[in-house]
Structure 1
Amino acid sequence: MKRYITSLFFGLMNIVMVAGCSSDDKGSDKPTEPEKTAPVAIEKTNSTKIYMHYMPWFETNESSADKKWGYHWTMANKNPNNVGANGRREIASYYYPLIGPYHSGDKNVIENHLLLMKYSGIDGILIDWYGTYDVNDYRMVKENTEQLIEMLDKVGLEYAIVYEDRFLTNVVNAGKAISVTSAAKTDLAYVQNNYFTDANYIKINGKPLLMNFGPIVLQTAAEWTNVFGTLTTKPTFLTLWDHSAKAGDNAAGEYAWVYKDNSYLTNFYTNTKPKLGVAMGSAYPGFKDFYAEGGGGAAIGWTIEHNNGATLDATLALAKNANINYLQLITWNDFGEGTMFEPTVEFGYSYIEKIKAFAGVKNTENVFPDISKLYDLRVQKKGNVDAQKKLDQAFNYFVSMQSAKAKQIMSEIK
């Protein structure tokens, strides 16, 4: 899959492309084409690689084929078409996204999310991925993932896949594959051929990173050996903490998650990390699931309170003290479980401000509201070609770390 910008072009800056071929076009009504600029890495002092776990599973009534809101906004009993006196839609979460509920494949939403992450000092995203099969909403998740990937190298961020093998049984039961291992082979061959080859796909120890949320279905080393046997490049494979034995020698290490209280993180850093070839830590702002209230099944059964940011402070401190090389932030946007770093009505930009401080971002300017303004203008000026081209220019300035120029352009849009 060819990307718009590859590493070959990272050194090229300020290539001007204007509408038309000559100066004779100056008097035309054509909007000026935006100046193309390669992404510039944000400067920071913390060498830890910081990755954000990302859910590409949201649908709106405008994006879905059946004109219905997706499960992750509704669960069983919420209707986002109902709008309260406060202007907010009814969604299956205790928290509300600052930009409102959205479609994960919306390019304006993706632009907003990735710019916020870039200016937070985040290096890349870990995409929760259900595979290639057209079962339930898996195909929609794949399509949204590829809209996301298409913009990642434009912004200058890396990515890797977090494979959900838990859904393989559903693929077989739907008659789409003859076995769970054959389905996994198809999925991972696709990952190898379409994602691993990207210049901005995350590599650890010279190999592409592949993570697994489990394993849940493929629970033996023999099964994983069979699945990986068809790949020409064996990945650096990380399982969920305490699950690597299920993959045997195929696992290069484990990553921490969120569970009950911070003592599990302490245990991971103290007792598990020293035994692992690759260990990825975690940090999270809290956990408060909506499943019982939303009719989405039984509650998880435990809560980690956000405590006005104190929980995030504590988990970041644990990561710092553990001197880890890789840190996963849990999560950008799992609103159903209340683990979101994405700016919300309740917490504003406070969580990504904390990540920015942890990363040691040298640019102390507060551009988060300006990035939100870019999103608002995208929506307000929908269909206005001239305004959208100016906003494209603002986006290009943001990714090349010229925020002052981006803000200037936005201020000129009436």
Structure 2
Amino acid sequence: MKRYITLCVGIIYALLVLGCSSTDDKNSNSDPPVVEDLKPVPIEKTNATKIYMHYMAWFESNESTTDHKWGYHWTMANKNPNNVDANGRREIASYYYPLIGPYHSGDKDVIENHLLMMKYAGIDGILIDWYGTHDLNDYKMVKENTEQIIAMLDDVGLEYAIVYEDRFLKNIVDAGLSPTIGSAAKTDVNYMQSHYFGNSNYIKINGKPLLLNFGPITLTTPDDWTNAFSGLTTKPTFLTLWDKSSQAGTNASGEYAWVYKNSTYLTNFYTNTAPKLSIAMGSAYPGFKDFYKEGGAGDNIGWTIEHNNGTVFEETLGLAKSAKVNYLQLITWNDFGEGTMIEPTKEFGYSYLEKIKTFAGVKNSTSVFSEISTLYNLRKEKKGNADVQKKLDNVFGYFVSMQPDKAKQLLNEIK
């Protein structure tokens, strides 16, 4: 009898436990863990001007090359970045020094840093200086770096277009890589169509892919460009350098301004040239001071525009605002050899990004540029720590989804 009673009690207890457990499971299933949406969100700004950044993808470090040598654009002919001074600065071919130090353009941590900085400054996309598809000199490396950058643009929520360099087409022919200059150009343009133009984040103007040319320099007749575009399904919205569109004839949709000597040339473009064009892209730049002679790479350009503590950038941004341009190219993110860089540097900090932010009318006034630098530094410091890298991936997700406060909080926890 005692055993029977004990058994009954045990059965009743078990049923109660199972019932409670079942209820708990139901409650658990009804309240699944919240999954955060960390997809890129556009930054809010009041200026309708499309702001694009001219970008160089040509930098190599001693870690990115097979021979462990630094690339030309850090060394020119006589500088050695392996030499480090008392302040920890490497010897590079520039008067200015990147805040994150000299780098490899294909480094994903570098790309992440650059794109986040641009996003929070109110920049819509990048215009990538591109040397084509042929394996000569550093052209292939530039193409590979370009495609590393393109692979991350969508994750950040930025657009892009190509700035095609036609000046080196003769080198392709001389190296026996193409029978004619025209066929070399056609190969490059067809590659753009099949690999870039169709991307959802490739910049379109009037429904057609935007293509800029730094020139023309080698393809100098309308027939040259008609041939280059002959294999395309849709001709691009094609912009040449200022006062060069006649060399492309009806293939050209307009022109874009650049940097030259002083702002008088930019004023003239807005006043006299732009009104005659179907599409006119303005420019703004912080200065110009090339390092070619000092770097043993030939003569200097012959003129200088001093940065003057940011007043030049403010002036050229102001000219663009007064001209009410629809499209503005910032010159440049990182041409350190010519001293036009807007990328944060030891000399200017984040000041140029803050000026762009003001011009763009970015609504979120919170500055996160230093935190984006912290993200980069932690990427490098904790390179072998998989758990920390996953947390840093979440920091990146918070940044691109416009949740900077959460990004800051997580960064503080990691530090």
Q: Same fold (TM over 0.5)?
A: yes
Structure 1 residue aligned with 2:32: none
Deviating beyond 6 angstroms after TM superposition, the runs of 4 or more aligned structure 1 residues are: none
The alpha carbon displacement at 1:35 in A equals 5.5
Output the TM-score relative to the length of structure 2: 0.91
Structure 2 residue aligned with 1:120: 121
d(CA) in 1 for partners of 2:168, 2:156: 31
Identity among equivalent positions (%) equals: 75
The alpha carbon displacement at 1:410 in A equals 1.2
SS in structure 2 at match of 1:166: coil
d(CA) in 2 for partners of 1:181, 1:396: 44
d(CA) in 2 for partners of 1:67, 1:246: 42
SS in structure 1 at match of 2:414: coil
Structure 2 residue aligned with 1:3: none
Structure 2 residue aligned with 1:295: 296
d(CA) in 2 for partners of 1:157, 1:148: 11
d(CA) in 2 for partners of 1:353, 1:242: 32
d(CA) in 1 for partners of 2:36, 2:151: 19
Aligned pair 1:408/2:409, yes or no? Answer: yes
Unaligned 5+ residue runs, structure 1? 1-22, 24-33
d(CA) in 2 for partners of 1:165, 1:66: 29
Structure 2 residue aligned with 1:109: 110
C-alpha root-mean-square deviation of aligned residues, in Å? 1.0
Structure 1 residue aligned with 2:331: 330
Rg comparison, structure with higher value: 2
Q: Deviations along 1:206-234, whole A, 9 cap, x unmatched?
A: 10000000000000001111111111110
d(CA) in 2 for partners of 1:129, 1:292: 24
Aligned pair 1:188/2:189, yes or no? Answer: yes
d(CA) in 1 for partners of 2:156, 2:63: 26
Q: What code does the residue aligned with 1:300 have?
A: I
Structure 2 residue aligned with 1:89: 90
Structure 2 residue aligned with 1:5: none
Structure 1 residue aligned with 2:266: 265
Structure 2 residue aligned with 1:315: 316
SS in structure 2 at match of 1:296: coil
d(CA) in 2 for partners of 1:136, 1:321: 42
Structure 2 residue aligned with 1:163: 164
Q: Deviations along 1:122-157, whole A, 9 cap, x unmatched?
A: 000000000000000000000000000000010000
Structure 1 residue aligned with 2:363: 362
Unaligned 5+ residue runs, structure 2? 1-24, 26-34
Q: What code does the residue aligned with 1:86 have?
A: N
d(CA) in 1 for partners of 2:354, 2:149: 23
Q: What code does the residue aligned with 1:257 have?
A: W
Structure 1 residue aligned with 2:230: 229
Q: Deviations along 1:369-405, whole A, 9 cap, x unmatched?
A: 0000000000000010000000000001100000111
SS in structure 1 at match of 2:411: helix
Aligned pair count?
382
The alpha carbon displacement at 1:66 in A equals 1.5
The alpha carbon displacement at 1:36 in A equals 5.6
Q: What code does the residue aligned with 1:261 have?
A: N
d(CA) in 1 for partners of 2:221, 2:66: 38
d(CA) in 2 for partners of 1:73, 1:169: 25
More helix by percentage: 2
Q: What code does the residue aligned with 1:356 have?
A: K
SS in structure 1 at match of 2:53: strand
d(CA) in 1 for partners of 2:36, 2:46: 30
d(CA) in 1 for partners of 2:66, 2:46: 46
Q: What code does the residue aligned with 2:74 have?
A: W
Structure 1 residue aligned with 2:342: 341
Aligned pair 1:76/2:77, yes or no? Answer: yes
Q: Deviations along 1:217-264, whole A, 9 cap, x unmatched?
A: 000001111111111110000000011010000000000000000000
SS in structure 2 at match of 1:405: helix
Structure 1 residue aligned with 2:153: 152
